C-alpha cells in the first residue's frame, strides 16, 4: 500500500509542477488554447495519442470487445494505428495546419464558420460540441472506480474529485502547453504500463502459448460451429468487428479534440516525425489494450455478471489485474489515471475554448479584450470539469441509465456530423454551406434516433444498427456521401473567398533534396 500511495503522490506532484512551469506560455488566448502554434513533434504526437486512448478504452472497450471477439479484437488497435493515426496525420495534418492558420481559426466550429462563410453554422457546431462532449467527458471517470476500489479501497467519489481537481489545476495554470507536456509524460507511463501488464497477465496464465491454447478451447455463443473462434483471424463476428474498427479509427477524423492537435503543430518537420511517433504509440497502446482484452474469457469464473447472466464488461480488466503484484497494480493505476486525465484535459480545453471563442465572444456586444476571453475560457474549463464530475457521480449513485446511453452516442454524433464537412472543406472548393448543414443534421439525427430506439426497446432500421457503434458508422458514411451529393446541386456562397482560402496551399516553399527530388538536380547529375 505504501508503494502504491508513493507512486500516486509522485505522479500528482509531477503533473502540478508541469502546470506551474508552463504558466508563462498561457498568458494569452493563442498560448492558452494552441500553445502559440509552436508545439513540436513529440509533444503533438503524444498529445494526439493520449487524447485518443482513455481509460474507457483500457477498461471498457478492451474488456467488452476482447470478450466478444477474442484475440481478433487486436485488429481494432491496428486499425486505430493505421487509420486513426497514420492516415489521419497524412491526410489531415498538413492541410489542417495551413488552412486554420490562414483563416485564423482556433477551434473546429470556427473553421466551419470561416470556411463555409456562415456564422450560424459555427454556432450550430459549437452547440453540438457542447451537448455531446460533456457526457463523453463524464465517461472518462468510469474506468477508475473499480481499479481504485481494488487497489486502495477508496470510494469512487473521492477518485472522481481527486482526478478532477488535479486536471483542473494544471490545465487552468498552464493551458495547452501544460496539457501537451503532461500528455508526453502520461504517454510514456501508458507505453511502459501496457507492456508490463501484458507480460504479467500472460505469465499468470502459463505464457503466451498456453494462454492461447486455453482460449482456443472456449466455444463462442455467436459462432458455435467455429472451433477456436476466439483465437481465429477475424473472430466470431467479423462484420461487427469491422464496424468497431471504422468508428474508433475513422471517427477520430471528426472529433474536435483530436483535430485540434494539428492546429498547434510547429512546422513540416514536426508533422513528419509526429506521424511516425503517433502511429507507433497507437500500435503499442491500442494494440496492446485490445490484445490484453482478448484473453478476458480466461477469467470468466471471477468476473461479475448481471442478473440476466450477461458479463459486466467493466469488471473484466480489473479482474485480470487483481492477482498481479502490487508494483504492477501501482503501474496500472498510473496508466489508467494517465489515460483518463490526458483525454479529460483535452476535452475540457476544447469545450471551454469553443464555447468562449465561438459563442460568447461573438454574442457579446461589448468587445471582450484578451484578458476577459482568457478568464472566460478558464471559468468554462472549470465548469466543464465540475459538470462532468457531477454526472459521473450521479450515474454511479443512481439508476439513471440515459447518461450511460448518451455516452455511447457521443462519439458517433460528433464524428458523423463533423467528419465529412471538415475533410471535404480542406480538400474541395466545391463543398457548400448547405452540404455542411445536411451532414450536421444527418449525424445528430441518426444517433438521436438510435438512442430513442434503445430507450423504447424498438429496433433502429435493423438489429445491426441498434448498436451505437454501427449507428455511428452509418452516420459517418452518410456524411461522406451527402456532402459531395448536396454540393453538386447547391452553390458555393463566395467562390472568390474560397479561392483565397485555398491559395494557402499554393505558396512556393524551398526544401532539401532529401525531402523532394527535382529534375534540375537529376540534370546536373547526368551532366557531371
Helix (H, G, I), strand (E, B) or coil at 112: helix
Do 342 and 442 fall within a single domain?
Answer: no
Return the pLDDT at 522: 45
Band (145; pLDDT cuts 50, 70, 90)? low
Of 151-160, 300-309, 376-385, 446-455, which has the strongest mean pLDDT?
376-385
Across 116-136, average pLDDT: 88
Residue 17 included in any domain: no
pLDDT of residue 147: 67
> How confident is the model at residue 489, as a pLDDT?
94
- Maximum mean pLDDT: which of 75-89, 170-184, 321-335: 75-89
On average, the pLDDT of the chain sits at: 83
Compute the average pLDDT of residues 16-41.
78
- Of 373, 396, 419, which closes a domain? 396
Q: Is 392 among the domain residues?
A: yes
Whole-angstrom Cα distance, residue 221 to residue 244?
19
H/E element, 334: helix 326-355
Based on the fold, state whether residues 333 and 429 are members of the same structural domain: no
**Cα–Cα distance for residue pair 111/424, rounded to 1 Å:** 12
* Domain total in the chain: 2
pLDDT recorded at residue 295:
92
**332/474 same-domain check:** no
Residue 273: pLDDT band (50, 70, 90) is confident
Regarding predicted confidence, which is higher, 150 or 222? 222
Average pLDDT over residues 92-107: 88
Q: Element (H or E) spanning 66, and its range?
A: helix 62-69
Q: Is 417 a member of any domain?
A: yes
Residues 147 and 322: beta-carbon distance below 8 Å:
no
487 is written with which cell numbers? 454540393
Q: Is residue 15 part of a domain?
A: no
Range in 40-54, 143-157, 184-198 with the lowest mean pLDDT = 143-157
Q: Is residue 404 assigned to a domain?
A: no
In this structure, what is the dihedral angle of CA atoms 231, 232, 236, 237, given to the nearest 10 degrees?
Answer: 120
pLDDT band at 510 (very low <50, low <70, confident <90, very high): low
Supply the range of the domain harboring residue 483.
Answer: 410-528
Both 335 and 434 in one domain: the answer is no
- Tell me which range, 44-53, 93-102, 345-354, is most confidently predicted by mean pLDDT: 93-102
- Closest C-alpha among 316, 275, 278, 279 to residue 296: 316
- 159 shares a domain with 283: yes
517 membership: H or E segment, kind and range: none
Whether residue 72 lies inside any domain: the answer is yes
Q: Which of 339, 368, 396 is the last residue of a domain?
A: 396
**Average of pLDDT values for 337-349?**
78
- Residue (of 244, 283, 330) closest to 82 by Cα position: 283
Tell me, what CATH number does 179's domain have?
A: 1.20.1730.10
Model confidence band, residue 149 (pLDDT cutoffs 50, 70, 90): low
Tell me what pLDDT residue 521 has. 41
- The mean pLDDT value for 310-327 works out to 80
186 and 114 in one domain? yes
Longest dimension (CA), the chain: 82
Q: Which of 196, 191, 188, 148 is nearest to 1 (CA)?
A: 148
Q: Is 231 inside a domain boundary?
A: yes
> Which pLDDT score, from 0 to 100, does residue 280 have?
93
Instruction: Give the model's pLDDT for residue 519.
Output: 47
Q: Does one domain contain both 230 and 315?
A: yes
Q: What is the pLDDT of residues 158-197, one digit of tens each?
A: 878 888 888 888 888 888 888 888 888 888 888 888 888 8
pLDDT band for 425, please (50, 70, 90 cuts).
very high
Q: Cell numbers 497514420 label which residue?
A: 86
Angle at alpha carbon of residue 387, lines to 58 and 248, rounded to 5°: 30
Q: Are residues 80 and 224 in the same domain?
A: yes
pLDDT reading at 245 higher than 70 = yes
Q: Is residue 14 part of a domain?
A: no
pLDDT exceeds cutoff 90 at 279: yes
Residue 452 pLDDT greater than 90, yes or no: no
Judged against a pLDDT cut of 80, whether residue 527 lies above it is answered with: no
- pLDDT-above-70 percentage for the chain: 91
Residues 108 and 241 in one domain: yes
pTM: 0.83
Q: What is the mean pLDDT of residues 375-400?
A: 80
Q: Is a pLDDT exceeding 60 seen at residue 525?
A: no
Q: What is the pLDDT of residue 213?
A: 93
Q: Is the pLDDT assigned to residue 26 strictly greater than 90?
A: no
Which residues have a Cβ under 8 Å from the Cβ of 298 and sit 6 or more positions away? 205, 211, 214, 215, 218
Rounded Cα distance, 352 and 359, in Å: 11
Query: Is residue 311 helix, strand or coil?
Result: strand
For residues 331 and 426, state if they share a domain. no
- pLDDT of residue 520 exceeding 60, the answer is no
Judged by average pLDDT, the poorest of 18-32, 110-124, 145-159, 338-352 is 145-159
pLDDT over 80 (residue 401): no
Instruction: Indicate the pLDDT class of residue 526, thresholds 50, 70 and 90.
Output: very low
Per residue in 192-219, pLDDT (tens digit) is: 888 888 988 898 889 999 999 999 999 8
Of the candidates 261, 182, 189, which has an alpha carbon nearest to the alpha carbon of residue 19? Answer: 182
Per-residue confidence (pLDDT) for residue 523, from 0 to 100: 45
Question: Which residue's entry shows cell 493505421?
Answer: 82
Is residue 88 predicted with pLDDT exceeding 70? Answer: yes
Please check whether residues 447 and 473 belong to one and the same domain.
yes
162 and 305 co-located in one domain = yes
Last residue of a domain, one of 343, 370, 396: 396
| Percent of the chain clearing pLDDT 90 (strictly above) | 25
Amino acid at each position: 500500500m505504501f508503494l502504491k500511495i508513493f507512486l500516486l503522490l509522485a505522479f500528482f506532484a509531477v503533473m502540478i509542477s508541469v502546470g506551474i512551469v508552463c504558466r508563462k506560455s498561457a498568458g494569452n488566448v493563442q498560448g492558452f488554447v494552441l500553445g502559440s502554434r509552436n508545439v513540436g513533434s513529440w509533444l503533438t504526437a503524444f498529445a494526439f495519442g493520449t487524447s485518443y486512448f482513455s481509460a474507457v478504452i483500457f477498461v471498457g472497450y478492451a474488456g467488452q470487445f476482447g470478450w466478444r471477439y477474442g484475440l481478433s479484437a487486436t485488429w481494432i488497435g491496428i486499425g486505430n494505428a493505421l487509420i486513426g493515426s497514420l492516415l489521419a496525420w497524412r491526410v489531415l495534418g498538413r492541410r489542417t495546419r495551413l488552412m486554420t492558420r490562414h483563416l485564423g481559426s482556433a477551434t473546429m466550429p470556427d473553421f466551419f464558420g470561416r470556411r463555409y462563410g456562415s456564422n450560424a453554422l459555427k454556432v450550430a457546431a459549437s452547440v453540438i460540441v457542447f451537448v455531446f462532449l460533456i457526457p463523453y467527458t463524464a465517461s472518462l471517470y468510469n474506468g477508475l472506480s473499480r481499479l481504485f476500489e481494488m487497489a486502495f479501497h477508496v470510494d469512487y467519489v473521492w477518485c472522481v474529485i481527486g482526478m478532477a481537481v488535479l486536471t483542473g489545476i494544471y490545465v487552468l495554470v498552464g493551458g495547452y502547453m501544460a496539457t501537451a507536456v503532461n500528455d508526453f509524460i502520461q504517454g510514456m507511463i501508458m507505453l511502459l504500463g501496457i507492456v508490463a501488464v501484458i507480460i504479467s497477465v500472460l505469465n499468470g496464465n502459463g505464457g503466451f502459448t498456453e494462454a492461447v491454447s486455453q482460449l482456443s478451447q472456449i466455444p463462442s455463443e455467436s459462432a458455435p460451429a467455429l472451433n477456436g473462434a476466439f483465437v481465429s483471424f477475424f473472430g466470431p463476428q467479423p462484420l461487427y468487428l469491422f464496424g468497431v474498427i471504422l468508428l474508433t479509427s475513422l471517427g477520430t477524423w471528426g472529433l474536435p479534440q483530436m483535430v485540434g492537435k494539428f492546429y498547434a503543430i510547429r512546422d513540416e518537420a514536426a508533422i513528419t516525425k509526429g506521424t511516425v511517433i503517433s502511429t507507433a504509440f497507437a500500435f503499442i497502446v491500442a494494440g496492446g489494450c485490445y490484445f490484453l482484452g482478448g484473453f478476458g474469457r480466461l477469467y470468466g469464473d471471477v468476473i461479475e455478471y448481471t442478473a440476466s447472466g450477461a458479463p459486466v464488461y467493466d469488471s473484466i480488466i480489473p479482474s485480470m489485474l487483481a492477482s498481479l503484484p502490487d508494483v504492477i497494480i501501482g503501474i496500472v493505476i498510473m496508466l489508467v489515471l494517465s489515460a483518463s486525465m490526458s483525454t479529460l484535459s483535452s476535452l475540457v480545453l476544447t469545450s471551454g475554448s469553443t464555447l468562449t471563442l465561438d459563442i460568447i465572444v461573438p454574442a457579446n456586444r461589448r468587445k471582450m479584450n484578451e484578458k476577459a476571453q482568457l478568464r472566460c475560457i478558464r471559468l468554462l474549463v472549470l465548469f466543464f470539469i465540475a459538470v462532468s464530475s457531477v454526472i459521473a457521480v450521479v450515474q454511479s449513485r443512481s439508476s439513471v441509465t440515459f447518461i450511460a446511453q448518451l455516452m455511447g452516442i457521443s462519439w458517433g454524433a460528433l464524428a458523423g456530423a463533423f467528419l465529412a464537412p471538415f475533410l471535404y472543406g480542406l480538400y474541395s472548393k466545391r463543398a457548400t454551406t448547405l452540404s455542411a448543414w445536411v451532414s450536421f443534421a444527418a449525424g445528430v439525427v441518426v444517433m438521436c434516433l438510435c438512442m430513442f430506439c434503445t430507450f423504447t426497446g424498438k429496433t433502429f432500421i435493423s438489429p445491426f444498427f441498434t448498436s451505437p457503434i454501427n449507428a455511428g458508422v452509418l452516420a459517418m458514411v452518410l456524411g461522406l456521401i451527402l456532402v459531395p451529393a448536396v454540393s453538386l446541386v447547391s452553390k458555393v456562397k463566395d467562390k472568390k473567398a474560397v479561392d483565397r482560402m485555398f491559395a494557402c496551399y499554393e505558396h512556393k516553399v524551398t526544401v532539401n533534396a532529401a525531402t523532394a527530388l527535382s529534375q534540375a538536380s537529376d540534370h546536373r547529375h547526368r551532366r557531371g
